[in-house]
Amino acid sequence: MKIAIVHDSLIRGGAERQALYAVRELNKLGCDAELIYYNKAPWPYDALGQFGVSPTLVSKSGKRLRYPWKLAKHFRQRRFDVVHGFMAIPSVYATIAAALAGVSTIFAGQRVEYDARGVCKWIDRAVDRRVAGWIVNSMASARALEKALNLSPGRTHVVYNGIDPSSLVPKRTRDDVRSQLGIDRGAGVVAIVARLEPQKNHELFLYAAAICRAARPSCRFLIVGDGPRRAELEALSRSLGLENDAGFLGNRSDIPDILAATDISVLSSHYEGLSNVMLEAMGSGIPIVSTDYAGVDEVLTDGVDGFVVPLNDAEGLARRMVQLLDDADLRRRLGQAGRESVCRRFTLDAMGRRLLRVYESACGNVAQLT
């Protein structure tokens, strides 16, 4: 089966990593899968070196209205059986181009809880009329999409993200990383790994950090990631008196090393699909504290393999930070439970096989995968 997965870029983000994993796993299963992207990113993944995938750039070059015809030409040349737009905007381009190229099986994708309105919602309804279905990465995303677009039963297919445990092994020791970051060996370290954009709600993390620091002055806070809100968030950090306690590390290629130096990982988002950051922190044995966004219960059970706090509750988040910083046994227990759960439930092999079954079912060619 020849499959095209269409994404916008190879920037270092969770959805991009999952697209690369998906292509790799599909090829392992005997498919001819290709990742196609249309924007160059300033901080891209090394797709071949990190994932063994050779993606194809079909550049948009600013010509948004003409781009579907350019993409359709590539589809016709490659004669794909299935085209899958991995996220919202790539789904629009992929659907139009695949229809122009005569591809019989098209899927659209959503990776977060659906909240489009106005023209964007109208466009998605038009997309829905041309695709075989929608591929999402959580039940919460499926429910939101079904309600918003009034989809009939069976139009959404949940394919959970997968993690690669081998990619979580740090290359440096905890003490080495802390030394490089200027953090004392005995200091408590709380980290958030997320793009600096509104969805991730870094304000909540910083407000909770200020409360936590007042109770435990020796703790340090790491903000890993970059984005358009960096200057704004750095200003907020200074206004909260955290300039000596919170480090903005920007984009990093050594996330396993950062996690090795971390005691607690935080997810402060307003909404998510299925968070790669959460999976990777749990897979690394790091206890996580997350906001109670729609769908968090598909991964995390409060008090069993992590903690869940109400949305926008800085004091509640800070209390859980302090509790975990004060209790090494609790950190170990939650971290171990999280690692066992994630490594059992969210494997790359399961993700690839589920994705292939969705494609094959739509093509009327369901194979028996063992």
User: Domain 2-162+347-363's class?
Assistant: alpha beta
d(CA 137, CA 273) in angstroms, rounded, equals 6
Query: In terms of CATH, what superfamily is 165-345?
Result: Glycogen Phosphorylase B; (3.40.50.2000)
Return the structure tokens found at 239. 């206004």
**What pLDDT shows up at residue 367?**
43
**What pLDDT shows up at residue 366?**
44
Q: Are the beta carbons of 233 and 300 closer than 8 angstroms?
A: no
**What pLDDT shows up at residue 368?**
39
DSSP for 141-210 reads HHHHHHHHHTPPTTSEEE----B-GGGG--SS-HHHHHHHHT--TTS-EEEEE--SSGGG-HHHHHHHHH
**What pLDDT shows up at residue 352?**
98
Query: Which mean pLDDT values do the consecutive 10-residue runs of the chain (370 residues) have?
Result: 97 93 98 97 92 96 87 98 97 98 97 91 97 96 95 94 93 96 95 96 98 97 96 98 96 94 98 93 97 96 97 98 98 97 95 98 63
Residue 32 phi/psi, 5-degree rounding, is -110, 85
Q: What angle do CA 17, 283, 161 make, to 5 degrees?
A: 40
Length of the chain equals 370
CA dist 291 to 14, 116, 179, 275, 352, Å? 18, 22, 30, 12, 29
Give start-end residues of each CATH 3.40.50.2000 domain in the chain.
2-162+347-363, 165-345
